[in-house]
Amino acid sequence: MSALPWRSQIQVLWRAFELDPNASYKSDTDLVPYADRLARKYGTSVSEGQAMIDRMTGVAAMDGIDFRFDLIRPSNTFDAHRLVHFAHDHGRQDIMKERFLRAYMCEGESMEDREALTRLAVEAGLAEREVTDVLAGDAYAEAVRADEALASQYNIRGVPFFVIGERYGISGAQPAETLREALVTAWHGVAEASVAEGIVCGPDGCR
């Protein structure tokens, strides 16, 4: 993506969105293959579900990311979102979010395992004692709920979803150039902009 002359003025804010607020990780013996989950949710065959996975894995591989759907543990992400807000207050939000995403999508970590969350947060540069204090209480719970209420107002049903300048919405995984064009459009205040759609993950899985 070619450099933007006003890149230093762009601020990225990660907001909370729970794909499945009722999700809970139990044990590896209870895990259902991801292709089976997709087939069940979308009423397709297991081979079609695997094709969805292959497409997503291929897109990630283009950016050097090794998605491991065979390791993914469906889990409740509420505490993880609270820690992302905590990391924002300490200037570590990007690092924390990226670490959580890699842990979940590539390393098979459970996002409701507080010991794992603490370890990952420390790896992202946060103080262990402060992290454990956040997890032990309800800090940032209201901030997470506020983000989810905002997503509902925007009619967001899956991730990733990009809101640029509070004007334009871009749904799904996108090439860097598509995001660049959207940023330029928002920066110059163009009256209309096309909304791109890519691979999106929602409560019922990814497609």
In this predicted model, what pLDDT tens digit does every residue of 46-75 receive, in sequence order?
999 899 899 889 988 988 999 999 999 888
**92 with 65, same domain?**
yes
Q: Model confidence over 25-43: pLDDT tens digits?
A: 666 656 788 899 888 877 8
In a domain, 2, yes or no: no
What's the domain range around 76? 28-149
Choose among 171, 160, 25: nearest CA to 101: 160
Last residue of a domain, one of 112, 128, 149: 149
Q: Which of 15, 18, 20, 16 is nearest to 204 (CA)?
A: 20
Tell me which of 130, 149, 168 is where a domain ends: 149
CA distance 48 to 36: 10
For residue 66, is it within any domain?
yes
For residue 95, being part of any structural domain is answered with yes
Are residue 188 and residue 163 in the same domain, yes or no?
A: yes
Q: Identify the CA nearest to 203 among candidates 166, 168, 153, 151.
A: 151
Residue 14, domain member (yes or no): no
Residue 109 domain flag: yes
- Count the domains in the chain: 2
Residue 11 lies in a domain: no
pTM of the prediction? 0.81
Positive or negative, the CA dihedral 53, 58, 63, 67 is positive
